[in-house]
């Protein structure tokens, strides 16, 4: 273990930080708008689907199963009940295909986790469907590198504080690295930890947030390839 007093623990987000995810949601959304093209424009369908996702988040939480249910609900709504069962069956199939998509690691993901797991306690901290997140971690081949895996229903400040405490770190010894300012960075800064933003080209609309300005524990990097040097510079 690194003998730094300042940083002992590094949490990694999973989807769109370590591996591709949003791209599969976008492909499925395109299929959704194609299937319903006779009823409404693509933009309108996107808006209605996003509204359903937002409305259902408190019931379904994050993940593919809730997304599939929201697609079906939206299909019924926008067609005023005229949607064919064959279209619903296609939406079910789309959802199942998402639950089987192959894992495509993002650049430098393995190297960054490997390198830092030798010097720090590294955690995977992700939200979504429990089984699906476990499947993706298993298929990523990164599972053995993490000292802990935390699949949570939402990424709130108190959730991070509990996770860090469970792994023996106070927040200012802990860093979270991820592609969502809203879920990975801001709540960790909020409890006194370090937040590292690694932007991904595609971000789900419900994850949008403004970057903090001039915050001492906030950093932004272009890719995970820059993370080890950033960590070294802080310790």
Q: Do the beta carbons of residue 186 and residue 167 sit within 8 Å?
A: no
Distance CA 34, CA 43 (A): 12
Taking the complex as a whole, how short is the minimal distance between the CB of residue 201 and a second copy, in angstroms?
A: 28
Contact 132, 162 (CB under 8 A): no
* Cβ-based nearer residue to a second copy, 5 or 59: 59
Strand order across the 194-197 sheet: 148-152, 121-127, 9-12, 174-178, 194-197, 218-220
Closer residue to a second copy (CB): 65 or 108: 65
Shortest distance, position 114 Cβ to a second copy, whole Å: 23
Least distance (Å) between residue 90 CB and a second copy: 10
Contact set with a second copy (CB under 8 A)? 56, 59-61, 65-66, 68-69, 72-73, 76, 79, 81-86, 88-89, 92, 95-96, 99-100, 129-132, 134, 151-154
Query: Sign (positive/negative) of CA torsion 128, 176, 140, 24?
Result: positive
Cα–Cα distance between 49 and 70 in angstroms, integer? Answer: 7
Cβ atoms < 10 Å from Cβ of 9:
23
Q: Closer CB to a second copy, residue 96 or residue 208? A: 96
- Least distance (Å) from a second copy to the CB of residue 21? 17
141 near 108, Cβ under 8 Å?
no
Q: Which is nearer to a second copy, 100 or 144 (CB)?
A: 100
Residue placing its CB nearer to a second copy in the complex, 150 or 219 = 150
| Smallest gap from residue 154 Cβ to a second copy (A) | 8
The DSSP element (H or E) to which 126 belongs, if any, is strand 121-127
């Amino acid at each position: 273990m690194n003998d730094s007093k300042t940083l002992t623990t590094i949490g990694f987000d999973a989807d769109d930080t370590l591996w591709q995810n949003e791209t599969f949601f976008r492909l499925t959304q395109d299929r959704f708008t194609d299937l319903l093209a006779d009823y409404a424009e693509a933009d309108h369908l996107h808006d209605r689907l996003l509204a359903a996702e937002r409305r259902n988040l408190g019931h379904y939480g994050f993940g593919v199963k809730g997304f599939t249910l929201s697609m079906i609900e939206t299909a019924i709504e926008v067609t005023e009940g005229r949607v064919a069962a064959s279209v619903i069956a296609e939406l079910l199939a789309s959802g199942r295909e998402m639950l089987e998509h192959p894992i495509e690691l993002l650049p430098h993901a393995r190297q960054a986790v490997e390198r830092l797991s030798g010097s720090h306690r590294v955690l995977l901290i992700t939200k979504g469907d429990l089984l699906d997140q476990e499947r993706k971690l298993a298929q990523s081949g990164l599972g053995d590198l993490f000292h802990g895996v935390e699949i949570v229903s939402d990424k709130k400040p108190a959730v991070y504080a509990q996770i860090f405490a469970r792994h023996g770190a106070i927040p200012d010894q802990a860093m979270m690295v991820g592609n969502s300012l809203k879920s990975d960075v801001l709540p960790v800064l909020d409890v006194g930890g370090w937040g590292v933003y690694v932007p991904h080209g595609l971000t789900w609309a419900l994850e949008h947030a403004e970057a903090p300005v001039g915050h001492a524990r906030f950093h932004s990097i272009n890719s995970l390839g820059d993370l080890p040097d950033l960590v070294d510079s802080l310790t």
